[in-house]
Amino acid sequence: AMALSGVRVLELAGLAPAPLCGMILADFGARVVRVDRTPRSAVATDVQGRGKRSLALDLKRPPGAAVLRRLCCQADVLIEPFRHGVMEKLGLGPEVLLQENPRLIYARLTGFGQSGQYAKSAGHDINYLALSGVLSKLGRKDENPYAPVNLLADFAGGGVLCAMGIVTALYERTKSGKGQIIDASMVKGVAYLSSFLWKSQNLGLWNRPRGENLLDSGAPFYETYKTSDGKFMAVGAIEPQFYEQLIKGLGLDSDKLPSQLSFSDWPKMKEKFASIFAQKTQAEWCSIFDGTDACVTPVLSFDEVASHQHNKQRSSFIKNDQEEISPRPAPLLSRTPAVPSFKRDPFIGEHTEEILLEYGFTKQEIAKLYSDKVIEFSVPKANL
């Protein structure tokens, strides 16, 4: 059995962060039901549906809300991704659902959180990143702050930390027998992720303007360099002994170079390193640096990463029955590892009847809900 086997999760369909949270739980064994909106003509936005089943339900109508309330009576976890106040308007707020099921973990995954000036405001990863302070640290010298796609706030500060909160609450429930509400704000989540940045301010790592520090593209030994075939190498030779191996691999003599931490020499050292890296292909640099402690690695594209020898040896990527490649769940547990589903992601409403029967609805109740257009099926059954 996987670590989360037996845990029943209801995930209300939403954008990127909540689907990741649900997929993490599904990968580690939870039975995750994605509650999709109706009508089914709505575009499916969940590309992280691995291991989930789909129930199509109209929550905006009282009979639909009543169905979810009934489902929540038997669920362990509810993941909801709406702005503050939406669930309350539907009569599905935590005070209602926890009254009916005191063991429910009610996870509220939002950008700005359940309170504060922006609680009811729209936003996206870049906005949450900005409000957390983290965005101010990202970017090169003399350039505007730069958001690294939507990985940090949406997925790391949102989906991953929400999943951690759920697992933590499930563990606590084994002792208290009680559920609780999780307020997973992406602003607070990504700020928490940046704890090292806050706590290292007195170490001198961030004393210089953005893009001129050790880890933000200021240093020549913590940078990416273009190779002769238009690819890139990543360099992270921070420690002196690693830097010495970098210098050796580049064919330079450290005695003839400025001190590694001579800030004023960093720009010209960057130019020197760039001109040297540009003289060989990525494969040639790999043959020089692989097996050393120079902290130099190839920058792999999505097309290349699954076939790299290290990743193949670790079985780091999987292929589903649609031949789609994606990362294997992490971290690896020795006794109860995640066993991800290899099936395609569910169609909206594909498992509506199956799920409702499993949660105790009768065939007659399901037929009535279908005829009233409260629920939908991916392929409507003729006998309904």
Q: What pLDDT score was predicted for residue 378?
A: 80
142 catalytically annotated: no
pLDDT per residue as tens digits for the range 208-239: 999 999 999 999 999 999 999 999 999 999 99
Question: Which residues, including other chains, have CB under 8 Å from residue 379's CB and lie 6 or more apart?
Answer: none
The stretch 36-60 carries a mean pLDDT of 85
Q: Which of 17-26, 71-80, 283-292, 317-326 has the lowest mean pLDDT?
A: 317-326
Global pTM reads 0.94
Quote the mean pLDDT of the chain: 95
Please, what sign has the CA dihedral across residues 76, 82, 85, 89?
negative
Q: With 70 as the cut, is the pLDDT of residue 381 above it?
A: no
CA pair distance 355, 33, nearest whole angstrom: 8
pLDDT confidence bin for 380, thresholds 50/70/90 = very low
- CA neighbours within 13 Å on the CB side: how many for 143? 14
Q: pLDDT tens-digit profile of 60-73?
A: 999 999 999 999 99
| Helix axes of 186-193 and 161-176: crossing angle, nearest 10 degrees | 100
Query: Tell me: the pLDDT tens digits for 233-269?
Result: 999 999 999 999 999 999 999 999 999 999 999 999 9
Instruction: Indicate the domain borders of the chain.
Output: 8-194+321-376, 222-299
pLDDT tens readout for residues 157-204: 999 999 999 999 999 999 999 999 999 999 999 999 999 999 998 888
Three-state SS annotation for the chain: CCCCCCCEEEEECCCCHHHHHHHHHHHCCCEEEEEECCCCCCCCCCCCCCCEEEEEECCCCHHHHHHHHHHHCCCCEEEECCCCCHHHHCCCCHHHHHHHCCCCEEEEEECCCCCCCCCCCCCCHHHHHHHHCCHHHCCCCCCCCCCCCCHHHHHHHHHHHHHHHHHHHHHHHHHHCCCEEEEEEHHHHHHHHCHHHHHCHHHCCCCCCCCCCCCCCCCCCEEEEECCCCCEEEEECCCHHHHHHHHHHCCCCHHHCCCCCCHHHHHHHHHHHHHHHCCCCHHHHHHHHCCCCCCEEECCCHHHHCCCHHHHHCCCEEECCCCCEEECCCCCCCCCCCCCCCCCCCCCCCCHHHHHHHCCCCHHHHHHHHHCCCEECCCCCCCC
Residue 247: predicted pLDDT: 98
Q: What is the pLDDT of residues 341-363, one digit of tens each?
A: 999 999 999 999 999 999 999 99
> Is 154 among the residues known to form the active site?
yes
**Identified catalytic residue from 76, 154, 216, 345:** 154
Residue 45, pLDDT above cutoff 80: no
Q: Does the pLDDT value for residue 383 go beyond 80? A: no
Report d(CA 215, CA 310) in Å as an integer. Answer: 25
Distance CA 49, CA 34 (A): 8
Answer for the pair 76, 171: CB distance below 8 angstroms, yes or no: no
Across 121-136, average pLDDT: 96
- According to the model, what pLDDT value does residue 382 have? 47
Which CATH homologous superfamily contains domain 8-194+321-376?
A: Crotonobetainyl-coa:carnitine coa-transferase; domain 1 (3.40.50.10540)
CATH topology of domain 222-299: formyl-coa transferase, domain 3 (3.30.1540)
Give the whole-angstrom CA distance, residue 97 versus residue 64: 15
pLDDT of residue 204: 81
For residue 44, pLDDT beyond 80: no
What radius of gyration, in Å, describes the C-alpha atoms of the chain? 25
